[in-house]
Amino acid sequence: MVEIQATRNTRILKMNGLIHYINDETGTEIFHGPASAFSDLYYEARKKENRIYTDEQLNNLPEIERTHPYYNEWQVRKQTAQKLTTYLMSFNKNLKILEVGCGNGWLSAKLAGIPGSIVVGCDINKPELQQAKRVFNNQYNLRFAYGDIRFMEFFEMQFDIIVFAASIQYFPTLDSIISSALKMLDKKGEIHLVDSHIYRTEAISNAKKRTTEYYCDLGLPEMADHYFHHNIADLSAFNHSYFSKGESRINKLLRKPSLFPWIRIKHF
């Protein structure tokens, strides 16, 4: 166990390769409690969906065998990773990058391949974070943090880029999570939302029904209470724009979001 940073009432410790946040007043990890209950439920859903990968598979993602049940999904993820990496490399500067909801860390590992980057992958899913640390241990510029950024105001590092890849739907409101992320974002930084559905008002009701049916069929009906269907209209509170995955940084921004949009948010 190594203490790597200290703030008032909080020690930030590196234990077993993960960054932990300890409250000195209680002696407990900051992020246990409600978030822990969700993380256990989420991990159970991942297992039932057969989304827990071997170390060898994880090391190769987003490449995966054509016979894998999620092969088509990984083709989408692969395109996202390629386009996002190309876009970020076009900045031609050293970037501090945070991935929120990094899961097993495959995308964080790809982003850490950007020359001069420092990448932190953050999640409350400890089993997959531990696997991420094990598999990607050789990447010196990549770290994994166990926690929820809504309670990480004391995490004093300011990031140039914050990425939510297929994770924004697990936060109850866009206002709360984006506001928290903006506190950790450099004044010229960018937040990127990718590979998540953002819905128009008229589509939300049916989407909620599909989600409820899906998790009932999976045998975890309570998981539907932790999957949120965000409204496109809620983005109006933020300085946001839409990218096409096929366009470069200098190309024209889309006027309307697609079903699976790439959204960029900046400070006003």
**CATH code for position 173:** 3.40.50.150
Q: What pLDDT is attached to residue 268?
A: 95
State the pairing for strand pair 2-7/159-165: unpaired
Three-state DSSP state, 74: helix
- Position 21 in a domain: no
Question: Strand 10-15 and strand 2-7: pairing?
Answer: antiparallel
Residue 7 maps to a domain: no
The reply to whether 22 falls in a domain is no
Q: Count CA atoms closer than 13 A to 152's CA, side-chain side.
A: 28
Distance between CA 144 and CA 185 in Å, rounded?
Answer: 18
121, pLDDT greater than 70? yes
203 inside domain: yes
Contacts of 56 (CB under 8 A, 6+ apart): none
Q: How does residue 132 score in pLDDT terms, banded at 50, 70 and 90?
A: very high
CA dist., res. 166 & res. 260, Å (int): 10
pTM: 0.85
Is 17 part of a structural domain of the chain?
no
Q: How many whole angstroms separate alpha carbon 186 and alpha carbon 182?
A: 8
**Percent of the chain predicted with pLDDT > 90:** 72
pLDDT tens digits, one per residue of 24-45: 443 334 443 445 678 899 999 9
Domain of 102 in residue numbering reads as 32-266
Is 240 part of a structural domain of the chain? yes
pLDDT score for 33: 41
In a domain, 14, yes or no: no
pLDDT at 11: 53
Confirm whether 27 is domain-assigned. Answer: no
User: What pLDDT, on the 0 to 100 scale, is given for residue 244?
Assistant: 62
* Confidence category of residue 73, pLDDT binned at 50, 70, 90: very high
How many structural domains comprise the chain? 1
More confident residue, 130 or 150: 130
At residue 194, φ and ψ (nearest 5 deg) are -135, 155
Whether the per-residue pLDDT at 13 is higher than 90: the answer is no
Residue 1 pLDDT greater than 80, yes or no: no
Which helix (H) or strand (E) is 161 found in, with range?
Answer: strand 159-165
Q: What is the pLDDT of residues 243-258, one digit of tens each?
A: 864 444 434 444 444 4
